Chains A and B, each alone.
Chain A
Amino acid sequence: MSSVSRSELRTLMREVLTAQGKSLPDDESAQLSDIGFRSLDFSELALRVEDEIDEELNFDAAGLRQITTVGDVLNLLTEIQDQ
């Protein structure tokens, strides 16, 4: 099964933000609220990942957790590809 690496995830996340006229800082502890990365952006990023791996992601398996930083997003999307 193909998967999207963490650095590829960063690229996709940057593309989502750029399309909104925003930018992605290098610092992974940056707060999503500060950079304007919102639920619609997260959803779009997930769809981009699904299109890359040609498979639907299963978010139920990830369980409930807080996603507040850039690192949280990259961690979550890396992990659930392995579920």
Chain B
Amino acid sequence: MTRGPRPAGWANQVVDARTGASTAWSDLPPVQLPAPAAVVVPSSYDALPAVRGHAETGAELLVVAAGRLEENLRAELGTAGFNLVQGDQVEPASDPREAEEGRVWLLTSGSTGRPKRIGHTLGSLTTVSGDLPVRRWLCPYSPGTYAWWQVVTLGLGSPGQDLVVVDPAELDSWVQAAIEHGVTAASGTPTFWRQTIMSNGDDLAKVPLEQVSLGGEPVDQAVMDQLRTFFPGARISWIYASSEVGASVVVHDGRAGFPVEWLDREVPDRPRISVEGDELVIASPYHGSGLEGAVHTGDRVAVEDGRVLITGRLDRDEINVGGAKVSAGVVRSVLQAHPDVAWAAVRGRRAPLVGTMVVADVVLNSGKTDDPDALAALSKWCQERLPEYGIPRRIKLLDAIPAKETLKSDV
């Protein structure tokens, strides 16, 4: 059965970075899955035939990376009526039900706890429309996450948007693959970009990027400024998106945060963004199923110099130091703005007298873990820029940027 018109990007190429093989969407092997199907894939590229199948038949689909499928998630999916498809193996749902046509399920990245399922359709996942410049996109995200679907639906739904698919597990080699395959646009988390600059900085500028996108984590000015030095001619954008509200804020001026004038604006078919207390609240046309109206995002914002900055998760960003409130995100931005710092994470640590103190983990560009001079310089840097209670009193140096399959470092 063919359902509706074929996707506009049917002729776009998808490149498997592991083998270099390039195939048009329409030439991917069509797969018939027992809907509702949860497809467990060993790699990102392996998920594309299932997406092709869904685009053709509308059969209910959920995609999950094998690395994320823990025992309790497997059981949960079975109970929720999904047939679990892994290679040739099909494990029938423990609690079978009728399939819902056109439905695509996403798993949240889990930075807010265990992964949740959010219902979408290819339509609600496609947030970019209109004429786009011809581009070849890097897709580095974990299959089945919102960010992955964003890049995949762009490739499937918009003419002239090719994909080069790499796996989160093979990120060390993405720069070489991107040079080889002429990638002109890449989307990643700030952690992804920081890791790349640290490990592949020498070659990064050779990737002919015209579009650099960041999202999935709070985006600070320092990482965008660094990317600007590698790609002086590229458009550098950051995107606020989540499985719940979709891609809701897109900023192209190369600056952190978005203009305060964007708050509480009513524009037809565009998300309405507001702030309640210090929480970001969004009513979005790209929302997941059942999430109509204003959604409290759980993300904390701060307004500074006419820009609304997203500083981190509400439940983790605020550190109370003896009654004084500190934003972990603000402290992290200060640390990451230091020229010797590749990455930083900031948290509260239980301490006598003041209850909690601000402490930080830092990765230096040098990768050194024993560097008293650098620590002293960082303390001084923070003293000049933060109130006394906001200065991290303990800084631990790590030798590498920690990151998970979601490309986030959980800050």
Contacts and interface: CB of A to CB of B under 8 A. Distances in A.
Nearest to B391: A40
Contacts of A59: 352
B326 to A, nearest CB: 12
Main secondary structure of the interface of A (DSSP, over half): helix
B31 interface: no
A54 B90 CA distance: 49
A23 B291 CA distance: 58
B394 A44 contact: yes
Main secondary structure of the interface of B (DSSP, over half): mixed
B393 A47 contact: yes
Nearest to A18: B376
Interface stretch (B215-223, B253-261, B353-361): B353-361
A2 interface: no
Contacts of A51: 394
Contacts of B321: 40
Interface residues of B, number: 16
B34 to A, nearest CB: 52
Contacts of B322: 39-40
Contact of A47 (B349, B379, B388, B389): B349
A56 B353 CA distance: 14
A83 to B, nearest CB: 13
A14 interface: no
A19 B389 CA distance: 15
Interface string A37-62: 00110111011100100001101000
Interface of A: 19, 39-40, 42-44, 46-48, 51, 56-57, 59
Interface of B: 321-322, 349-354, 357, 359, 376, 379, 388-389, 393-394
